[in-house]
Structure 1
Amino acid sequence: MSKQTILIKNTLIIAFGRISTQFLTFLLLPLYTAYLATAEFGTVDLIMTYVSLLAPIITISLEAGVFRFLIDARGNAKEQKRVISSVLKFVSLTVLAAVFVYLFIQSFLNIPYSLYMLGVVVAVIISNVFLQITRGFGNNLKFAVGGVASGVTAILANVYFVVVLKSGVQGMLIATILSNIACATYLFISQKLYRYINFRIHDKKLMRQLLSYSIPLIPNNASWWVTNVADRTIISVNLGVSANGIYAAAYRFPWILTGLFSFFDMSWTESASVHINSPDRNVFFSKTMNASVKLFGSLGLVMIAGLPIVFNLFVGTSFREAYMYIPALIVGSFFNSIAGLYVALYIAKKMTKQVMITSVIAAVASIIASLVGVHFIGLFAPAAAMISASLVTIAYRHYNMKKYITIRYEAKTFVVLMLLYAAAISLYYMNTLASNIVNVVIVGAAALALNRSVVAVLWKGVLSKGREFTKLRRRIRI
């Protein structure tokens, strides 16, 4: 089985689980916009983005470290136990310290929904660490099933607390806590993680290596926070919480593209780490990154072309303004995915300090663009910030990585995508029956043409599974 085929297979397995977590939750958007006010929805969105900042800071990004170090420890149970025990012991201490600090601060400040927020942070940390341990083992199927457990729990809990009990913000946060607990419980039992935990293990050298790897990744997560939380904070301060609710609803659509990239990125990071020393790595990495640009560029186009048809099904009347901002956010998410492709290469080389440098550059570019732009272009400013920050990051990482790995892009791909985006966005804003049909036809044909190699691999896999199923049926009849 080729490297590309294994990469696609792992991506599909991971996507199966993560779709349950992210896209089943996305299907709750009509429920949120129907049962929550714009201010309530904006509040939950703001809390969850703060959680995304606090979790990796509290763990010092050791969830990323345990994944990378377990890849090198595959097949060595003793080393796996050493890595897992060291990380869980350290994270347990940092979580306890964070809880005490938070409760101390809360005694002086009246933080809305403080205990719910604390519960979400702790649950997300536990779930993330267990998920990364599972990935480090190379067990992508159980990783995926953990996502299914989380997604199903999230849907049931949201329906119960938001619709039945009408608990609003509290209900959504409780549902988030329960979904993460469900995921962590399944992984702890199915992976028999208790066998790898021994808090008497105390390896200072290993912890120094783990921290040296993980600490530089904190600014990388902080840069994501800057392009999300900072944007939302700037919007809330300058335009109001209701405007942030509109932006949050608009961002739910490009969030699909971000989610799809995250599925691929998990598999891509693993493949890059496994094959970083292969003699054909430059060819493999170049082919993968070119195919990724075509694939995620096409997915963005498909979303822009299809949204006018389904938008009203997902968004309530008070959130209709969100329609205006979605294309710019999708473009920003596409560029952000290209920038993210390089992170896997840095992780494979264990060069996380370079990730830190590029993340800081992106954060500065995003802050400047958002702060300046919000006074002139309103809610378009965060999208402009995302685009500018991503382009700066792509340029820096590409030329910095040249010292170690040669990535060759197909220039014509970028030209074709640029023309297609210009046409698709123009037809999107026309928003007539004829323009929407033309948009879907053009984008659909272009997407298939650009990604014919990926489609061919997927089709070959479907036929292979079909033949296996037919043989199995014949054996059963016999």
Structure 2
Amino acid sequence: MSGTGTQKTKYLLENIGLFSIATFMPKALTFLMIPLYTKYLSTSDYGRIDLLTNTVSLLMPIFTLQIQDAVMRYSIKGKYSSNDVLGVGIRVFLGGGIVLLILCTVLKQIGIIRIDSVFILFLFVYYITGTLNNIFSYFCRGINKVGVITISSILSAIITVICNLLFLLVFKWGVYGYLIANSLGAIIRVTYIYFRANIRMYLHWKLESTYISKEMVCFSIPMIFSALSWWIDNASDKYILTFFSGVSIVGVYAVASKIPSILVAFGDVIAKAFSISAIKEFDSNDSDGFLGKSYSMFSFCMVLICLFVMTGNIYFARILFTNDFFVAWKYVPPLLVAVLFNMLSLFCENILLAIGKTKVISYTAIVGAIVNTFLNLILIPRFDAYGAAVATFTGFFIAWFLRYTLLTSYVEIKHDFKKEVISYAIVMLQMVLAYRGNQFLVFELIILGTFIFVNRAYINIGFIYIKNKCKINQR
């Protein structure tokens, strides 16, 4: 334990502030671009884009061994030199990239892969930039250069938006314009981190320790199964939907996930900041209540945003979804609840990572993925995309429940769990009401208002913190 409860909270809030800037501006810009995408891209185009990005998400954990998790943990712990830690990450990246290139080339030549060569090229661009961004960003977290990540995210978002406006509105390049724009944004982000964080200074091919490679890879390998299970929860339903219902419904379903991305943005900010604190400030007895208070506040924020977005779902859809995409509003409520439990599960994962229980993370993720896949095969043939959304929500709920249960057997978390359970039950009730659109809007508003009133203490804490920060800045 490296600080008092107040110091831990201050450090966590500072990182939340930096990650907020890094996340909210790019997410806001992306969110505002949805009407453009749904106007200039067909449901089929959007489905192809979504399948491409999900395929990259599948390949990355397999060929990178999820080494970025080990890069962050070992760069924070300081057991080995930062040069060695980053060196192992880059070696794994290069080795995996070469294997993937050879594999794709062979499969393309013998006719197993029948995808357009241009899409294979974009697949490699997405893979390379995504992998390097993960390794560099996680390394920056470990060496306390979060500010670099913040600026790189903003630059990337601005470049992506400008290029999309140019390529879609002016040049009318369609799906290829979208892919080029996003590729350029990712390249700018990686390049900025490389130079601004002075990554070159840490790159050395000769490792000082002969044990670090094995130790880091052994730590990260169980996380492969966790990442693959996460992919199954988030992406496998789109492949099953394609098989049963066609690629157009996949495009609609992919657009539906844009509204829950609001909740993802908030949850991702806190989870990223807490991932550093969990390793840096870990205390298995939760002596000062830091873990319990952090979980309760995180849970409250996620539930509040989930209820708020679900209440305004139809209105958001009318603004963001055009033409054939408007029907996507139906799938938003269960996807919102899925994101809620995904974020709660991620919070537990960060603590499990701090104590090195990567096998527990892997096991719980696999169970959730199995449940999700089983329900997808049952529900999608009958309910199409809504069945996929319900299956996703159920899979994440199971993963969170198992992680939380097992986590509390290793670590004491001081908080009112019964109160949390009531909050989750309220969210599920609102999900059922939201299935009928605005028919029960009054009841949904009552639920939202009641939740805020009962948890007003958390809101007061937020106001006090903002007030104190303003006083400090005035000085």
- Cα displacement string for residues 189-235 of structure 1 (whole angstroms, at most 9, x for unaligned residues): 11111111111336431000100111110111101110122100000
Give deviations 1:287-329, integer Å, cap 9, x for gaps.
Answer: 2222222210111001011222232110012111111111111
Q: How far has the Cα of 1:278 moved from its partner?
A: 6.2
Alignment of 1:38-57 (within 5 A): 38-57=43-62
CA drift at 1:339: 1.9
Q: Does 1:463 align with 2:458?
A: no
Structure 2 counterpart of 1:59: 64
- Find the residue that maps to 2:289 and give its secondary structure: helix
Secondary structure at the aligned position of 1:258 is classed as helix
- 2:356 & 2:252 partners in 1: Cα distance? 40
Matches of residues 307-456 of structure 1 in structure 2 within 5 Å? 307-407=313-413, 408-419=415-426, 421-423=428-430, 426=433, 429-431=436-438, 436=441, 439-440=444-445, 443=448, 446-447=451-452, 449-450=454-455, 452-453=457-458, 455-456=459-460
Which residue of 163, 184, 187 maps to 1:157?
163
Structure 1 position 252, deviation (Å): 1.2
Find the aligned partners of 2:309 and 2:195 in 1 and give their Cα distance: 38
Query: CA 1:325 to 1:393, structure 2 compared with 1: closer, same or farther past 3 Å?
Result: same
The answer on whether the counterparts of 2:168 and 2:178 sit within 8 Å (CA) in structure 1 is: yes
Q: Which runs of 5+ in 2 are unaligned?
A: 1-5
Quick one: which amino acid aligns to residue 308 of structure 1?
I
CA deviation after TM superposition for structure 1 residue 420, in Å = 5.6
Displacement, 1:4?
Answer: 2.9
Change (3 A) 1:450 1:425: farther
Q: Which amino acid aligns with 2:131?
A: I
Letter in 1 for 2:142: G
Q: Is 2:8 the counterpart of 1:3?
A: yes
Query: Does the residue aligned with 2:211 lie in a helix, a strand or coil?
Result: helix
Partner amino acid for 1:105?
A: L
Tell me the CA shift for residue 442 of structure 1: 5.3
TM-fit CA distance, 1:266: 0.9
Show structure 1 runs of 4+ deviating over 4 A. Answer: 435-442
Q: Look up the match of 1:36.
A: 41
- 1:198–1:412 Cα change, 3 Å: closer
Give 1:20 deviation, angstroms. Answer: 3.1
Contact preservation (8 Å) 1:282, 1:405? no
Q: Is the 8 A contact 2:46 2:251 kept in 1?
A: yes
TM-score (norm 1): 0.91
Conserved? CA contact 2:167–2:181, under 8 Å: yes
Question: What CA deviation, in whole Å up to 9, does each residue of 1:350-371 have, x standing for no partner?
Answer: 1111111111111111110101
What amino acid maps onto 1:415 in structure 2?
A: I
Counterpart of 2:204 in structure 1 is: 198
| 1:135 to 2:137 alignment | no
CA deviation after TM superposition for structure 1 residue 70, in Å: 0.5
Q: 2:193 aligns with which of 187, 192, 201?
A: 187
- How far off is 1:14 after superposition? 0.6
Among candidates 94, 97, 109, match of residue 95 of structure 1? 97
Identity %: 22
Q: CA deviation at 1:440?
A: 4.8
Q: Measure how far apart 1:263 and its partner are.
A: 1.4
In structure 1, stretches of 5+ residues that fail to align are: 472-478
1:253 deviates by: 1.1
- Contact 1:309–1:436 under 8 Å retained in 2: no
The answer to whether the 8 A contact 2:285-2:411 is kept is no
Q: Does 1:169 align with 2:171?
A: no
CA distance in 2, matches of 1:268, 1:222: 23
Residue 476 (structure 1) aligns with: none
Maintained 8 Å contact 1:120/1:173:
no
Aligned-residue offset at 1:163 = 2.0
Q: Tell me: CA distance 1:317–1:144, structure 2 relative to 1, closer, same or farther (3 Å).
A: same
Q: Distance in 2 between matches of 1:64 and 1:309?
A: 39
Q: Which amino acid aligns with 1:106?
A: K
2:252–2:325: 8 Å Cα contact kept in structure 1? yes
